[in-house]
Structure 1
C-alpha cells in the first residue's frame, strides 16, 4: 500500500487476476486466451502460406533477394494499429481487418527465416548432392531445409511473438481476445483491468517464445547450436 493506504494499480491487477469469477464463462480468461491464441495461429498460418514458398524460392535460386528484403523492410515499417483502422474502414468491423494486418506483420519474419534457412546450407554439401544426381527439389527438401531448419523455426518464432503481442488490436474493432480487457479497461478507466490484460498478453507471448525456442534448438543439426 502507499502512504494513503490505497493499493497500487498493480496490486489491484493481481487481485483482478486472482478472482475466480475471471476464470469462467465466455468472457473468462481461458476463453479470451483461446481467442487470442486462435487469432495468432490463424494470422501466422496464412502468412506462412505466402512467405515460406517465396522465401524458399529466393533462398534456393538467389533470385529477387533484393526485392524480397526491400518488401520485408517496408512491411516491418507499417504501423499495425493504422492498418487495422484502415482495413476496418474499408472492409468493416469483424475479424478480416485485424487478420490482414497480422498477416502483413508476420510475413517479413517468415520470409527472412525461409530464405536465410536455405542460404545457410553449406555450398559444398549442396554441390555434393547435386553431383550425386539429386534434383533441385530433392536438394531443397532433403538438404537445404533440414540444415536450415533452426532458422526457419526462428522465422516462425519471430512472427508468432510479434503477432501475439499485437493481436490485442482485434478487440479494437469488436473482436475478442485478451485485448478486450485492455480496451474495456481503457473505456471505463479501470486501470487494474488494463494492467491485468497486459500481463496476460505478456505471459502468453513469453510462453510461446520459450516453446518455439525449444523447438528451434531441438531442430538444430547435430553439432550445431541454434541461436
Structure 2
C-alpha cells in the first residue's frame, strides 16, 4: 500500500500538474494522439467495412488481411517509422502506428455487425422497394450499431493504452510521466502515470459504452417504425 499512497501523494501535488511536463499538458498530448488516430482509423475502416458488409463480397479476405496488423508489434513499427523521414514530422510516426493498430478491430466488428443482420429482414426491406442506400440507413446500420460500437470501444481503449509508447520515441503523452519516473527511479511517479492511463481508458470505455447503448436503443426504434 506504500506505493499506492505515494502515487496518490504525487497526484495530489499541484506542481506535478503544471508546466510542459505536468499532467494537464501530457494529458492533452495523449488525447490529441489518441483522438486523431481514432478518427483516421474510423475514416479508413468504417466506410470499407460498411460497403463490404452491405455487398457481402470480399469482406472475409479484408478482415483477415487487416488482422495481420495485430501480429505486428506496435513499438517496432513506431521505432522504424521514427528512423524514416516521417520521424522528422512531430507526432506522425505515433499516429501512423496507432492507426495501423486501431483499424483491425474497427474493420472486423463493423463487417461482422453488417453481416449478422437478419437476412430475412433485409430481404423484406428489399421487397418493400427500398434502395440500397435506404436499406443501409434504415435497416442494416441500426441493427449493426452494437457491434460497430464494440469495435470502436476496443479500438479506443487499445489506442489510449498503446499511445503511452509514444514516449519511447521521444513524443509526448502520459507515457512521458512514466518514462520520467523510470529515469529518476521514482516508483510513485511511474505508478501515478500508469493510474492516469488506466483511468483515462476506463473513462473513455464507459462513455462509449453508454453512447453505444443509447444508439442501439435508438436504432431498434428506427427499425421497428
1:20 equivalent in structure 2: 14
2:223 equivalent in structure 1: none
Alignment of 1:43-122 (within 5 A): 43-90=37-84, 91-93=86-88, 94-122=90-118
2:3 equivalent in structure 1: 9
Q: Is the 8 A contact 1:147 1:221 kept in 2?
A: no
User: Alignment RMSD, CA only?
Assistant: 1.8
SS in 2 for 1:133: coil
Alignment of 1:215-226 (within 5 A): 215-221=211-217
CA distance in 2, matches of 1:40, 1:223: 27
CA distance in 2, matches of 1:37, 1:86: 23
Unpaired runs of 5+ residues, structure 2, are 221-225
TM-score of the aligned structures, taking structure 1 as reference length: 0.90
Note the alpha carbon deviations across 1:152-200, whole angstroms, 9 max, x for none: 1111101000000011112222221101101111222222111111110
2:180 corresponds to 1:181: no
CA distance in 2, matches of 1:166, 1:82: 12
- 1:80 Cα deviation from its structure 2 partner: 0.9
CA distance in 2, matches of 1:221, 1:196: 38
1:158 equivalent in structure 2: 154
Q: Is the 8 A contact 1:118 1:140 kept in 2?
A: no
Query: Does 58-67 or 98-107 show the bigger shift?
Result: 58-67
CA distance in 2, matches of 1:160, 1:180: 20
SS in 2 for 1:92: helix
- 1:135 Cα deviation from its structure 2 partner: 1.3
2:22 corresponds to 1:41: no
CA distance in 1, matches of 2:198, 2:211: 20
- 1:205 Cα deviation from its structure 2 partner: 0.4
CA distance in 2, matches of 1:156, 1:145: 15
1:210 equivalent in structure 2: 206
CA distance in 2, matches of 1:87, 1:222: 42
Specify which structure has the higher proportion of helix.
2
Q: Is the 8 A contact 2:145 2:219 kept in 1?
A: no
TM-score of the aligned structures, taking structure 2 as reference length: 0.91
- 1:117 Cα deviation from its structure 2 partner: 2.0
